[in-house]
Amino acid sequence: MAGFNTSGENAKLLFSTAWLFKIATHRLLNVVKQMPVLPASDIGWKSLFYKIVYDVIPNRRYSYGAITLVRSIYESCRQLGVDFRSVELSDWLMFQQSEKEYPPRSIALKTPSEVEVTVFNYNKESRRIALGVNTSEAYKKLLEAILREKQPYMPRIYLKSWNTRSGELYVKGELQVAVPTNFYYKHMARARVNKGRLYAGVDVNIDRINLVIVDDDGRLRDTYTFWFEEAPRKGCSRRRARSIIGMRVHEVLEYAYHHGVKALFLENPEVLGKLKLLWVRSGNRGHENYNYKRSIFRSSIIEMVALKEPLYSIEAKYVDPKGTTSSREHDDVMRKYRLDRHTASAYLIALKGLKQP
């Protein structure tokens, strides 16, 4: 949400804090993998594993942050049917609090352009440092609203890159802030009133989003394809891919809003868990792994569309995807309207949505 660049002692302290957090998380993950039975609640997890984590990073909020992260990975694996014991953590450097509060004690936003952070050196000695942060005008207004309304939030410091210049460490990072969705919609809405009377179906693929607009009777009104071919390519980082797709999602919703769409139908995504394996790397599973990743990728985009629809006062509705990609009706629609298969799928999604009560 808000980026920063720092060097010298502050960079070293951010780096060491992130490493301690990562070591604590790895240690906890290894312990949890050996447990035959695990607690069923957050309180149980925190009570059982707090000392293990606190011994590495002696900060209650960061310790609970690591515990929450590992538990979220565990719950994600359960819902996805992935063997939790085969999971490894990917390469990240970050640290976070686990609870929403105002003001957060360990990572506190002082102004929209400054944050105070509790950090540790490798001897586990704590200090408090101030960082200047920069963000877009839209997110600056959101940060101002958080401070003005004293909205509880959960903060995270993420280190994006680092290097050395003439023996001095430089770090580029990001302050990320989690707030309730209703607060986000309240302050980030791009259209507060929608007087549209049309409907749209959306078909999401790994390189495009196909949009089809229909009226109450299912008559085809418009079609458009929004491409992001570079996002799934090898070499495109996860962060850059998400940024590219995020821009396309806004384009989809802005186009739909300005063309009179009041409700948008999407395929019902798979349940991905709390973190959707954001920090998880599984072993190579060949073709099966490709299909798994493709499914996760598509479902994540669908959820992104649904999350941002309220910003345009468009209602999101899910439909059963069965029969929208391969069926006699699908082939008939392609021939009748001279549509490609993805646009035909979006049209069938729209028709199926109209038939729902």
| Under 8 Å between Cβ of 239 and 94 | no
Q: Is it true that domain 191-355 has CATH number 3.30.420.10?
A: yes
Q: Which residues of the chain have pLDDT under 70?
A: 80, 269-296, 323-326
pLDDT of residue 278: 38
Q: What is the three-class DSSP state of 280?
A: strand
Domain ranges (residues) in the chain: 2-186, 191-355
Written in H, E and C, the secondary structure of 44-63 is: HHHHHHHHHHHCCCCCHHHH
Q: Provide CB contacts within 8 A for 118, sequence distance 6+.
A: 59, 62, 105, 106, 107, 126, 127, 128
Q: What is the three-class DSSP state of 328?
A: helix
Token readout for 124 is: 């586990």
Question: For residue 205, which of 305, 333, 350 has the smallest C-alpha distance?
Answer: 305
Q: Starting at the edge strand that comes first in sequence, how are the strands of the sheet with 220-227 ordered?
A: 220-227, 208-214, 198-204, 261-267, 315-319
Neighbours of 99 (CB within 10 A): 14
Distances in whole angstroms, Cα of residue 253 to Cα of each of 57, 89, 262:
43, 34, 10
Most distant CA pair in the chain, distance: 71
CA–CA separation, 294 and 302 (whole Å):
12
pLDDT of residue 77: 80
Q: Provide CB contacts within 8 A for 78, sequence distance 6+.
A: 84, 273
Helices (H), strands (E): how many in the chain?
9, 14
Neighbours of 166 (CB within 10 A): 4
Position of tokens 């063309």? 259
| Under 8 Å between Cβ of 67 and 50 | yes
